[in-house]
Structure 1
Amino acid sequence: MSGASHGPPHGSSPGTRPARQRWLALSVLVLAVLLVGVDATVLGLAAPFLSEDLGPSSTQLLWIGDVYSFVIAGLLVSMGSLGDRIGRKKLLLIGSAAFGAVSVLTAYAHSSEAMILWRALLGVAGATLMPSTLALIRNIFPDPRERSLAVGIWGAMASAGAAVGPVVGGFLLEHFWWGSVFLINLPVMAVLVVVGSKLLPESRNPDPGPWDLPSVGLSMVGIVATVYAVKEAAAYGFHWDAALAGAAGSLALVLFVRRQLRLASPLLDMRLFQHRGFSGAVLADLLTILGLSGLIFFLSQFLQMVQMRSPLQAGLAELPAAVGAVAAGLAAATVARRTSVRAAVSGGLAAVGLALAACAGLQPSTGYWLLGPVLLLLGVGAGLAFTVTADVILSSVPKEQAGAASGVSETAYELGTALGIALLGSVVTGFYRTFATPPGVPESRAEEARESLGGAVQATHGLPGEARERLLTAAQDTFTEGLRAGASVGAVILLGAAALSWHLLRDQRLEDTPADGDA
């Protein structure tokens, strides 16, 4: 198929652009990825300050942590498909401007409820960014080896965002109020909009068909309700709320799939999942991020409120995870080509699982000599698995469907983030609420402390010396016990996923030559 057969120039021109323009365009795209990475990790560090200022319950704190991921996961496929229709560049620029505006509202949230609302709207804006960046890479880089490197850089910058988030966030939290961690989005968004409008090529599906709004609604309801059900059941046991949400979510997803199979121009072509490599890569993507995000979110609290590090010290302590992920992301395509896709992905998942297993022995007094290497192993495993799966997902589809496929990849990423925080968080919270009231501590203070670890720090204010020490120690010990249990659950899931990926990704290879129609 020749380039002329793609229809309008915007559908085919990116791949024929000079090399310098292609790599300059990539440098703009990774700004968006960097920002989303920063925004995901910076919240973990800000959680203690949010607890002190807004006074959220432990449930509200979990919602503040994962509502962004719930909403973004519910909309990613829809937004990826919308980008295929209206133009990926246009959607990226609109989403970037909206992301900046909502970041300001988030920074000045006056209550826990407002914070949850603004984080949800930030998810709506964020859903436009990630699929657009990956889909544009698919179109800008037609050569598979060049594209593998571009995807590696894209994945590395997502990880670099995870590194920059805690360090920059830690610095800001030591010098300014917690809202400042959201205002750092503004300069990045401004650069992206101004420079991206000049440098980025437009690309879209030349014959996309209509954007199906009922499918958008079913996708959103299905994913959000299902994740909510998992979260509630894990936190409070199986009750009618969780059962109702689970049933509604499952029904919506079934209706979504049936509708896609009937539509001439579906939001998501369900036939993609008949490709074993595609399905295996999506599952591996989800479980990799589940392990990584769940552990990092609660480790941030452990470092600050159990080991009593400053926000900046906690951010620097988490740096090995991001360094490992960046290095592994850049090397991932070479590793996958020299060994195999399944070896790279299964090995990455196993590394994340082993890092989680090591955290099952965590104590409040655990030294950094153990934590540092564990975080490095976690990052290397996640960077390797995540980058290779993104490459497999992109190369499995025609370029016209790049947005929808990128939406699937990013949905797995965000769903993994939400489930990681929800599942591990529910285990941690379940354990944490069980600690006994220490001698000499009023029951009302103990109840206040059981709301969250940040609440425990607040509850100690005004207590006599020994009572304060006993309450804080009981809270820290029980939180650590919950973290150990959560890490153990995560380790079992990730090691099982490594074995499953070995089976699902057999015979899967990264492309070496341009697919028909790409050249």
Structure 2
Amino acid sequence: MDNERTDRIRMGRTAFSSPSPSSSVAVTVAASVASFLAGMDVLIVNVALPTIAAELGGDMAVQQWVVDGYTLLFAALLLLAGSLADRFGAKRVFLIGAALFGLASLFCSFAWSMAALVFGRCVLGVASALILPASMSLINEANPDPRRRAWALALWGAGGASASAVGPLLGGLLTPIHWSLVFVINVPFCLLILVLAPRIRRSPRRVIRFDWIGQALALAGLTTLVAGIIEVGAIGVAAPATLVLLGVGLLALVLFVVSQTKVVAPMMPLGLFRIRGMQVALQIGFIMIFNWYGMVFICTMFLQNERHMGAFAAGLVFVPSAFVTIIGNLIGGRIITAHGVRFSITLGLAIMIAGFLFEFLAPAPIPVWVVATGLSIVGFGAAITTPAAAGVVLRSVDPAQAGIASAMFNTFRQVGGAIGVAVFGVIATFLPSLDVALRSVFVASAVLLAYVLVFELLRWRER
């Protein structure tokens, strides 16, 4: 009996020591698929929105909620999901999220009204929040060697970054058949993740406390703030409802920050903001996705409503950027290995700025080939930058905080995306044409990325 007990203890101790190659491959594939799903589902619906609105009804504000219902819940729950991954094990949380994602996708495909669709999109946001930070934690667990981790993160980044370009393409291909297929397409990917589950080794757990007060304040603050921004375009900035939403949102977010200094186990440890690598990575994540989601939202509206292109033709505009983004992620892994994350981030940001300026300087109306080329340039730069920024996050913190740090990084990304869609959607309602709105997106994006580039260079020079 003593020998059997000793053997069981040894097996338990070695379960987390050195992952097998097959387990590492399974984790990398499953995590990359999850990253692809989370990124694709933000943007695949954009191309289908005019068709969905024609069938189910809804103005610009309602269409923004179809997008932001997903991104808001995704962003607001990422930190809690990161804590859940640490507490119950990244593998368990990851698989629960994948199953929920598949079920919510089926619900959205049968939506009978815009309200039902927005509800389903919110559930999808919850599922994405569960799978994304857990996927980064699983990669960290399965790839202890820095070089292997860099390649795994490059593939993980390729999943998310390429999805941003593939999403509109798939939306354009599937919408002419029926808009519900933009949600049904998620189900096979979810099944693939569940099939790989037996080959993913069990994750370690940590006993932690949950910050329910912080979670409630974050959810209330982000939801009401984004709702207020959307209502600026729908009913005006001076409307009482708009002012109340904006005021409540800002107050809740201030109270959230204050609460993080008072609770025993904060959901967003403010001490992580003092780490220089985290400062750089969080700003990069926020502004990159703010620009990209806002640009794709307005771009799809511009192509279909102002250039009078069909959903399929509009989706084809994103084809070049899809391939370029995938290539950029694969090259990005080599650049990180050869030159380091600082060089990769600097190069990627510079390429993105060049892409936005190229589109901004095009003659009016913006030619479709310019849009396609600019998307490709920006996507290539983003593909180089994203895995490098994710690597900075994992390298900057203690391994025990990998889950919460990953959740913070992805939270800032998704908050940026939700606010980007809201802000640029509002801008489009006040400008004379979608061509002008798209140009405003390009120049604003270039300026914001230039700020991040300067901040990154100066911040790391101080070290």
Question: 1:469 is matched with which residue?
Answer: none
- 2:64·2:230 contact (CA, 8 Å) conserved in 1? no
Runs of 5+ consecutive residues of structure 2 not aligned to the other structure: 1-8
Alignment-derived partner of residue 166 in structure 2: 164
Q: Which amino acid aligns with 1:276?
A: R
Q: Corresponding residue for 1:216?
A: 215
Q: Equivalences for 1:167-178 in 2 at 5 Å? A: 167-174=169-176, 176-178=177-179
The one-letter amino acid paired with 1:117 is F
Aligned length: 454
- Which one of the candidate residues 501, 510, 517 is aligned to 2:456? 501
Pairwise CA distance, 1:17: 1.4
Q: 1:23 aligns with which of 4, 16, 25?
A: 25
Q: How does 1:112-511 map to 2 (within 5 A)?
A: 112-174=114-176, 176-196=177-197, 198-206=198-206, 208-233=207-232, 236-237=236-237, 239-336=239-336, 338-339=338-339, 341-361=341-361, 366-432=366-432, 478-506=433-461
Secondary structure of the corresponding residue to residue 144 of structure 2: coil
The 3 A distance-change label for structure 1 pair 380 and 14 is farther
Alignment deviations for residues 69-90 of structure 1 (CA, whole Å, 9 cap, x no partner): 0111111011111111011111
Q: Relative to 1, partners in 2 of residues 1:218 and 1:308: Cα closer, same or farther, differing over 3 Å?
A: same
Partner letter of residue 300 of structure 1?
T
Aligned amino acid, residue 438 of structure 2: L
In structure 2, do the counterparts of structure 1 residues 316 and 9 end up closer, same or farther at CA, with 3 Å as the change threshold?
A: farther
- Deviation of 1:401 (Å): 1.9
Shift in alpha-carbon separation, 1:33–1:306, aligned structure 2, 3 A? same
Cα 1:72/1:126, change in 2 over 3 Å:
same
Change (3 A) 1:485 1:202: same
Partner of 1:460: none
Cα RMSD (Å) of the superposition?
2.5
Percent identity between the two aligned chains: 29
1:275 CA displacement: 0.4
For residues 211-236 of structure 1, the C-alpha deviation after alignment (integer angstroms, 9 at most, x for no partner) is 23222212222333333344445773
Distance 1:240 1:76 in 2: 31
C-alpha contact (below 8 Å) 1:166/1:312 kept by paired residues: no
Which stretch shifts more, 320-329 or 49-58?
320-329
Conserved in 1, the CA contact under 8 Å of 2:165 and 2:325?
A: no
Q: 1:444-472 CA deviation, whole Å, 9 max, x = no partner?
A: xxxxxxxxxxxxxxxxxxxxxxxxxxxxx
The structural deviation recorded for 1:389 is: 0.9
Q: Secondary structure at the match of 1:308?
A: coil
User: Any idea what SS the aligned residue of 2:178 has?
Assistant: coil
For residues 151-176 of structure 1, what are the alpha-carbon distances to aligned partners after superposition, in whole Å with 9 as ceiling and x for unaligned? 110000112323432333322222x2
Q: Please say if residues 10 and 202 of structure 1, whose CA atoms lie closer than 8 Å, have aligned partners that are also in contact.
A: no
**How far apart are the structure 2 equivalents of 1:291 and 1:70?**
16
Q: Judging changes above 3 Å, is the alpha-carbon distance between structure 1 residues 274 and 251 closer, same or farther for their aligned structure 2 residues?
A: same
Distance 1:190 1:271 in 2: 39
Deviation by residue 1:255-307 (Cα, 9 ceiling, x = unmatched): 33343334443323221111011111111111111111211222122223333
Q: Residues 205 and 401 of structure 1 are in contact (CA less than 8 Å); yes or no, is this contact kept in structure 2?
A: no
Report the secondary structure of 2:260's partner residue.
Answer: helix
- After superposition, the Cα gap between the structure-2 partners of 1:11 and 1:291, relative to the gap in structure 1 and judged at 3 Å, is farther
TM-score w.r.t. the length of structure 1 is 0.81
Structure 1 306/230 Cα, relative in aligned 2: closer, same or farther at 3 Å?
closer
1:56-75 per-residue CA deviation (whole Å, 9 max, x = no partner) reads: 01111111122210111111
- Deviation at residue 347 of structure 1 after TM alignment: 3.3
Q: Is the 8 A contact 2:94 2:135 kept in 1?
A: yes
Counterpart contact for 1:15–1:142, Cα < 8 Å: no
Shift of 1:318: 0.8
Once residues 293 and 272 of structure 1 are traced to their aligned partners in structure 2, the CA distance between those partners, rounded to angstroms, is 26
TM-score normalised by L of structure 2: 0.90
Structure 1's 10 and 156: CA in aligned 2 closer, same or farther, altered over 3 A?
farther
Cα distance in 2, alignment partners of residues 245 and 337 from structure 1 = 46
Distance 1:11 1:404, change over 3 A: farther
> Aligned pair in 2 of structure 1 residues 272, 26: CA closer, same or farther (>3 Å)?
same
Q: CA–CA distance in 2 between the matches of 1:480 and 1:66?
A: 23
**1:27 partner amino acid:** V
Deviation at 1:379?
Answer: 0.5
Question: What displacement does 1:413 show?
Answer: 1.7
Greater mean alpha carbon deviation, residues 394-403 or residues 273-282: 394-403
Give the match for residue 97 of structure 1.
Answer: 99
Q: Mark the CA change 1:393 to 1:233 in structure 2 (over 3 Å): closer, same or farther.
A: farther
Distance 1:43 1:14, change over 3 A: farther
SS in 1 for 2:203: coil
Question: Is the 8 Å Cα contact of residues 226 and 245 (structure 1) preserved in structure 2?
Answer: yes
Contact 1:363 1:480 in 2 (8 A): no
What is the CA distance between 1:505 and its match in structure 2? 3.6
Following superposition, the deviation at residue 369 of structure 1 comes to: 4.1
CA contact (8 A) 1:231 1:426 kept: yes
Once residues 239 and 245 of structure 2 are traced to their aligned partners in structure 1, the CA distance between those partners, rounded to angstroms, is: 10
2:80 to 78, 81, 85: 78
> What SS does the corresponding residue of 2:175 show, helix, strand or coil?
helix
Q: Equivalents in 1 of 2:205, 2:269: separation in Å?
A: 14
- SS at 1:127's partner residue? helix
Segments of 5+ residues of structure 1 without an aligned counterpart are: 1-6, 433-477, 509-519
Say whether 1:35 aligns with 2:37.
Answer: yes
